[in-house]
């Protein structure tokens, strides 16, 4: 039984490390993408280039989708380590 608990704790710590290392990076890059998309779209409007307008709007849409996806996934996986570690597991002897 101790082996299963150790395996579970190892998986929990691995998932927590991934959550705390990946999600902030994705949030940061989606913010950078938003900051880049606004000037690109405004430049497209100013010079009348549909390519710039479409590129800027696509970047803004992608950044918005990534922000919503990270919010959804962080809510989904935030429960990973919420277990009572002081509960005594019954033995199967």
Cβ(53)–Cβ(45) below 8 Å? yes
> What's the confidence (pLDDT) of residue 91?
56
Q: Would the CA dihedral through 67, 68, 69, 70 be positive or negative?
A: positive
Half-sphere exposure of 3 (CA within 13 A, CB side): 1
Query: Could you state, in order of their start, the residue ranges of all structural domains in the chain?
Result: 9-76
Ranges under pLDDT 50 in the chain: 87, 93
- How many CB atoms are located within 10 Å of the residue 64 CB? 14
Cβ(51)–Cβ(44) below 8 Å? yes
> What's the confidence (pLDDT) of residue 1?
66
> What's the confidence (pLDDT) of residue 58?
92
Calculate the alpha carbon distances from 68 to 21, 25, 47 in Å.
18, 14, 31
């Amino acid at each position: 039984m101790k082996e299963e608990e150790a395996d579970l704790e190892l998986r929990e710590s691995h998932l927590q490390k991934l959550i705390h290392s990946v999600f902030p990076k994705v949030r940061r890059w989606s913010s950078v993408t938003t900051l880049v998309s606004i000037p690109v779209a405004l430049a497209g409007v100013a010079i009348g280039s549909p390519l710039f307008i479409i590129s800027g709007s696509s970047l803004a849409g992608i950044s918005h989708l990534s922000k919503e996806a990270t919010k959804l996934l962080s809510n989904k996986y935030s429960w990973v380590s919420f277990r009572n570690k002081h509960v005594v597991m019954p033995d199967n002897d």
